[in-house]
Structure 1
Amino acid sequence: MINFGTVGTGWITESFIQAAQLSGQLQLTSVYSRTEDKAKQLADTYHASNYYIDLEEMAKDPEIQAVYIASPNSVHFEQTLLFLKNKKHVICEKPIFSNSAELAEAYKVAEANGVYLFEAIRNMHTPNFKILKDNLKRAGKLRSTILPYAKYSSRYDVFLQGEEPNIFSAEYSGGALVDLGVYPLYLAVGLFDEPKQVTYHPVLLRSGVDGSGTLVLTYEDFVCTILCSKIAHSELPCEIHGEKGTFILEDAAPISTITFVDNRGNERETLSVELEEQNMVYECENIVRIIETKNDQEYLQLKGWSEIVLRITEEARKQNNIVFAAER
């Protein structure tokens, strides 16, 4: 059992706490918020023994072994470094950082302090991702892939009224690609590795970030197209097309269902297993297992994926002059 604390009080934090409880392998001991009322309310709801409004004080708590960070994107780096330097394992919600330089520095600090750093990316830990990867060769030579993830954000209504919510702000390292787009992007990287070429075609908002966009990843023999949006909605499935068959995924995250369609007989086969309703539980279980068994092979694979994904989003932003405040 690993004792952990949380930074942030949004719905994603509560989802992670619930998943941690379901896993039976993480014990919530502390929570942090900038406001005492929110910190106390979250602690009371989930029976945490401590709550903090001072992050430095929380980082020094000897009871905490790991921390889950789900604060605004732009402060992930400084908060992560604080906890790593205090020898806490860090699970940082995606997108982990604003750029590759921050990622490299954070991994150095983690290694120097003998702790692990993880990017929280739930779809890569589900059993269905492993099933898909293990069966990928059944499709034969890959020829094309389309991975959509478009969900209209209620925060866009606020944006249209003249405000600038964090997720649509360059000040807070926001935008569609680094928010929703990282799910299908991670899926592509996990299945196909790093592409030869990256091209991004965004719909830019007045705040200087992308509200939606089309990311094209060029591989040796095929192209992977990722559609992401927070200003429109799509119910298109994901598809991976090969010369022998096609994989159809209900979604890029959490990868709810996988169907394989044979090209010649047109026979359909369901390969997926039914996921837990609280599907972040797989992420919790895998992270604890890696920490407790010191499984550096799996850890380095996750690290490698984070590095590739961040390189791609950084290149995509560079092509379109999307500059975060953390980089100015």
Structure 2
Amino acid sequence: MTLKLGIIGTNWITKMLVEAAHESQAYQLTAVYSRRAESGEAFAKDFGEVAVYTDLAAFYESGIEVVYIASPNSLHYEQTLQAIAHDLHVIVEKSAFSNTKEYEAVYSALREHPNVRLFEAARHVHQANFKAIEAKVAEMAHISGATLVYEKYSSRFDDYLAGKEPNVLTREFSAGALTDLGVYPLYAAIKLFGMPKESHYFATPLRNGADGRGIVILRYADFDVTIQFGKGANSYLHSEILGMRDTIVIDSIAELGEVIYKDGAGNDTEISTPAPANPMVPEMQVFAAIINDPVGQDATYRELLTLSQRVNIVLTNLRQDAGIIFPADK
């Protein structure tokens, strides 16, 4: 069954998702929503006959079955609630919602619309190389700790330095380094190790009160996970998961290009396979399978929804620990 897809947001990540959706052969883009018609039309022209809307209600009533929401973070909540009210399945870009209060309200809406499925687009945890990491972690006799790194100079950071206020670096849009980049290693940590007992965030603030980079410490019963991320510098450090003598070395916890298992006795084994050209294809295949077989795939769906909720809880706790307040929190 080919699902009719609508998208909100016309940036590069939306284009990548639509291409992945088409490559999966499970979706067909049929509608684009943009506040400006010219932006929507410029995006749609690459995908054939696609309707463009500047009215959100008309977009939701256009016959689409799945909506992908890639607007600024602070808009996800209301747009998701509206989609659920129209009985549309929702794929929302991470970070999904600003705080636990919003997530709880969305969860309540899902209970009122039991046929709707909600997904957070955390593409890396669906990739084959992440699953290889999971399998190897399960085999390791002991976990001593981990360091997960994702620090990239943002294309918007020059604008910030020039005195502008890019959406991805402002609290007004529920944004900053933690919710934009830190969410990748945080998702990985919680997927691999579960909920931490404690979480602490040492943030480097920007002049507007948002976080530009930071260090997160997740405390588990027998080990700690350190997460380093930021948008104002480039780091070339690998990520590592430490056993005792053995170690898993990951080139990038978000991109997952190469994963090496070192047994500590001089034997290095590559456990990764070539990454897909479009890293969003695996997640789009998973989402379509769940939508098309909601009963058979219910356990998988509940696991993903629980993971998303846990990430939201820890993200909220980390911001509170660092004293970062979003307007959506009030």
Counterpart in the other structure of 2:66: 66
Q: Counterparts in 2 of 1:266-277, with a 5 A limit?
A: 266-277=266-277
What letter corresponds to residue 309 of structure 2 in structure 1? E
Counterpart in the other structure of 2:121: 120
- State whether residues 187 and 252 of structure 1, in contact with CA within 8 Å, keep that contact through their aligned partners in structure 2: yes
Counterpart in the other structure of 2:318: 316
Counterpart in the other structure of 1:282: 282
- State whether residues 140 and 244 of structure 1, in contact with CA within 8 Å, keep that contact through their aligned partners in structure 2: no
Q: Deviations over 1:173-204 (max 9, x none)?
A: 01101110010000000000001110110101
What letter corresponds to residue 166 of structure 1 in structure 2? N
Partners of 1:115 and 1:194 lie apart in 2 by: 26
- State whether residues 129 and 255 of structure 1, in contact with CA within 8 Å, keep that contact through their aligned partners in structure 2: yes
The number of aligned residues is 326
What TM-score does the superposition give when structure 2 sets the normalisation length? Answer: 0.97
Counterpart in the other structure of 1:45: 46
| 292-301 vs 103-112, greater mean Cα deviation | 103-112
How far is 1:244 from its partner?
4.2
Counterpart in the other structure of 2:140: 139
Q: Counterparts in 2 of 1:164-175, with a 5 A limit?
A: 164-175=165-176
Structure 2 counterpart SS, 1:110: helix
Counterpart in the other structure of 2:36: 35
Q: Deviations over 1:50-82 (max 9, x none)?
A: 110101111112x20000000011000001111
Partners of 1:139 and 1:257 lie apart in 2 by: 19
What letter corresponds to residue 49 of structure 1 in structure 2? V
CA RMSD for the aligned pairs? 1.0
Q: Counterparts in 2 of 1:224-263, with a 5 A limit?
A: 224-263=225-264
Structure 2 residue 306 is matched with structure 1 residue 304: yes
What letter corresponds to residue 116 of structure 1 in structure 2? R
Partners of 1:193 and 1:138 lie apart in 2 by: 16
How far is 1:253 from its partner?
1.3
What letter corresponds to residue 317 of structure 1 in structure 2? R
Partners of 1:49 and 1:162 lie apart in 2 by: 37
What letter corresponds to residue 141 of structure 1 in structure 2? H
| 69-78 vs 127-136, greater mean Cα deviation | 127-136
Q: Deviations over 1:200-225 (max 9, x none)?
A: 10101111111000000011111100
How far is 1:109 from its partner?
1.3
What TM-score does the superposition give when structure 1 sets the normalisation length? Answer: 0.97
Structure 2 counterpart SS, 1:202: strand
How far is 1:268 from its partner?
0.3
What letter corresponds to residue 6 of structure 1 in structure 2? I
Structure 2 residue 327 is matched with structure 1 residue 325: yes
What letter corresponds to residue 175 of structure 2 in structure 1? G
Structure 1, unpaired ranges of 5+: none
What letter corresponds to residue 285 of structure 1 in structure 2? Q
